[in-house]
Amino acid sequence: MSGNLEVGPIRDIPAAKIVEAAQIVQAGRSYSLATSRFPGMPLFPGHPPFQVLNYRTPPGIRAERAQPWGPPNEVGLGYMAEYVMATSHSGAHVDALGHMTVGEDNHWYGGGNTAEHLTDHGPAFGDAEKLPPFFTRGVLLDAAGFRGIEALPAGSPIDAEEMQAIADWEDVEVRPWDVVLIRTGYLAFWPDGEKMAEHKTAGPDLSAAGWLLDRGVVATGTDTETYEVQPAPDRGTPANPQPVHTKLLIENGIYLLESVYLEEIARELVYEFLFVALPVKIRGATGSMVDPLAVV
């Protein structure tokens, strides 16, 4: 099976588009598009909690009389190291193509399926080891700003007509090879889990997914934990609880980013930028935490 099918359409991004994206940078300003990660952080309820556990400390080294460097250590040299135990979908992250499956054969983009490609160490096809670097033009579509509110109401869909209206309002055009980030305002309340819960989960609907596909984007993200509007208003028959994930990620190999922090660039009216994100290539993982940048 072709390795290109494990990467998706972004594999074909022209070199000229990468150069063009780099030329967006004129002021030399960068904006972090991620919040911090910490034990107890708000997460999608289906994911395990984020944990940081000490493994090695200076007092522990002394108590054990350990000699990690070998003797002698007459200056009391110590160090600290830890376990980070978390889903790769903690905080700002990108879904690998092998993250979501559909159908009785549990298949995903490019021909992956659990019968052939799932190992005891995760998927061996379309996993996070195959995630590409993202270095391309980014566009912010600020749905909350367009509506003139702090954050969209819970379960509020953003449809194709509104996506175009937001782009027109911002005077920005979505083009092939772009990464489009959609702000609902959900992370304006970070890390207040109770306040955030009052706004779960606005996002693009199936028509908005079609709008993005028509414009040739290679990735898209939101500031929510599920990307798409939930509960889905357009589940179809048979019912699909996440039709946008199915359309974009599973059927078309369009990468989805979630929990992307968009408050600062929205305040600064930064609607076009160089988008940079470098996933961690972990074999068998179904996504990667990222700390993306918007650079202008």
Confidence at residue 2, expressed as pLDDT on a 0 to 100 scale: 44
Whether residue 141 sits in one domain with residue 56: no
Residues 77 and 198 in one domain: no
Instruction: Convert the pLDDT of each residue in 110-132 to its tens digit.
Output: 999 999 999 999 999 999 999 99
Q: State the pLDDT at residue 107.
A: 98
In a domain, 288, yes or no: yes
Same-domain status, 150 and 246: yes
Domain containing 55: what range?
Answer: 51-85
Give the model confidence (pLDDT) of 199-236 as tens digits: 999 999 999 999 999 999 999 999 999 999 999 999 99
The answer to whether residues 192 and 214 belong to one domain is yes
Q: What is the pTM of this model?
A: 0.96
- Same domain? For 81 and 96 the reply is no
Q: Please state, rounded to an integer, the average pLDDT across all residues of the chain.
A: 96
Distance of CA 134 to the CA centre of its chain: 11
Rounded to whole angstroms, what are the CA distances from 102 to 8, 121, 159, 243? 17, 20, 23, 10
My answer on whether 171 and 65 are in the same domain is no
Confidence of residue 1 (pLDDT cuts 50, 70, 90): very low
Total domains, the chain: 2
Indicate if 148 and 70 belong to the same structural domain: no
pLDDT at 3 > cutoff 60: no
- Whether residue 59 is contained in a domain is answered as yes
- Residue 42 in any domain: the answer is no
Domain containing 155 — which CATH number? 3.50.30.50
Report yes or no on 124 lying in a domain.
Answer: yes
130 and 175 in one domain? yes
Residues 131-184 have pLDDT tens digits of: 999 999 999 999 999 999 999 999 999 999 999 999 999 999 999 999 999 999
What is the structure's pLDDT at 4?
80
Is 128 in the same domain as 149? yes
